[in-house]
């Protein structure tokens, strides 16, 4: 059972907009930054979004992040087949004094 | 080019020990906080440990506290994870990751640790 809660799966067709949620608490998302990581099949995770809604260089602007209270969301617009991957949210937890990850969401492009 | 190369994984019996290494290159290793994150085959990510750039701040997940020890050698651009009293539930791919929070975050390809009799 992960401290951050994500839906196990999401799907969409090419060109659609998909949103993945990440629910936490006041000790993690509510008081600390949230990052999103993308893990393509058979590869190591890669930073996708940092500090809620910032993109590292090279990440397309189709990817965006947001936060409201103790929840965060990742939105992918103009869905492409190469977006098929696992997506994880992460935050520092002040109560646990450590990093917490969501359980991951497997995105399928239909 | 930034590179993080993990090594030291393998098959070990329950109760045994392993020492993982992560060799860093292509950046100033001593300027970055470093992390170990593991992933059980087919499952999600689990943070294991973090160490600040000068080893002043060190944190562990409750699941490994007292059994695992993280360290680094900035002169050799290397990160280590000493794992003792290994359990079956420690079986995972262990990733070395540079700074999880900044745009410069970068992960190695991982090394597989299997704990089984």
In order along its 110 residues, chain A shows pLDDT tens digits of 889 999 999 999 999 999 999 999 999 999 999 999 999 999 999 999 999 899 999 999 999 999 999 999 999 999 999 999 999 999 999 999 999 999 999 999 99
Q: Which two tokens stand for residue B72?
A: 């680094």
Answer for the pair B21, B76: CB distance below 8 angstroms, yes or no: no
Q: Give the pLDDT of residue B42.
A: 81
Token pair of B56 as six digits? 């002043």
CA-nearest residue of chain B to A93? Answer: B61
Kindly report, residue by residue over B17-42, the tens digit of the pLDDT.
Answer: 999 999 999 999 999 999 999 999 88
Chain A residue numbers with beta carbons less than 8 Å from the beta carbon of B44 are 2, 88, 101-104
pLDDT given for residue B100 in this prediction: 94
Q: Which of B78, B69, B73, B114 is nearest to B96 (CA)?
A: B78
Contact: B100, A90; criterion CB under 8 Å: yes
Min Cα separation B45/chain A (Å): 7
Q: Output the pLDDT for position B41.
A: 81
Cβ contact, residue pair A101, B46, below 8 Å: yes
* pLDDT recorded at residue A80: 97
Distance between CA B44 and CA B97 in Å, rounded? Answer: 16
Shortest Cα distance, chain B CAs vs residue A88, angstroms: 8
Q: Indicate the pLDDT class of residue B62, thresholds 50, 70 and 90.
A: very high
* SS3 at position B17: coil
Environment class of residue B13 by beta-carbon count within 10 Å: exposed (0-12), middle (13-18) or buried (19+)?
Answer: exposed
- Do B31 and B53 touch, CB atoms closer than 8 A? yes
In the predicted model, is pLDDT for residue B8 greater than 90? Answer: yes
Nearest to B44 among A46, A96, A101 (CB): A101
| pLDDT for position B43 | 86
CB B89 within 8 A of CB B43: no
| CB distance A71 to A78 below 8 Å | no
Query: What residues form DSSP beta bridges with A66?
Result: A73
pLDDT in tens, B80-117: 999 999 999 999 999 999 999 999 899 999 999 999 99
Q: For chain A, what is the largest distance between any 2 Cα atoms, rounded to a whole number of angstroms? A: 40
């Amino acid at each position: 059972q992960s401290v951050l809660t994500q839906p196990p799966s999401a799907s969409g067709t090419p060109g659609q907009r998909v949103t993945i949620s990440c629910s936490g608490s006041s000790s993690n998302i509510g008081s600390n930054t949230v990052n999103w990581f993308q893990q393509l099949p058979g590869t190591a995770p890669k930073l996708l979004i940092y500090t809620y809604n910032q993109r590292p260089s090279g990440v397309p602007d189709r990817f965006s992040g947001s936060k409201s209270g103790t929840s965060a969301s990742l939105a992918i617009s103009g869905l492409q087949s190469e977006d098929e991957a696992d997506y994880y949210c992460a935050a520092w937890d002040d109560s646990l004094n450590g990093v917490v990850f969501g359980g991951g969401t497997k995105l399928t492009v239909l | 080019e930034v590179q993080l190369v993990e090594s030291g994984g393998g098959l070990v019996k329950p109760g045994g020990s392993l020492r993982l290494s992560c060799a860093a290159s292509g950046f100033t290793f001593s300027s970055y906080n470093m992390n170990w994150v593991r992933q059980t085959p087919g499952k999600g990510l689990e943070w294991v440990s973090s160490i600040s750039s000068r080893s002043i701040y060190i944190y562990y997940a409750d699941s490994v506290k007292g059994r695992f020890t993280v360290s680094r050698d900035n002169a050799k651009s290397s990160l280590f994870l000493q794992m003792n009293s290994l359990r079956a539930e420690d079986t995972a791919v262990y990733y070395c990751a540079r700074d999880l929070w900044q745009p410069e975050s970068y992960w190695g390809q991982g090394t597989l640790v299997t704990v089984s009799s």
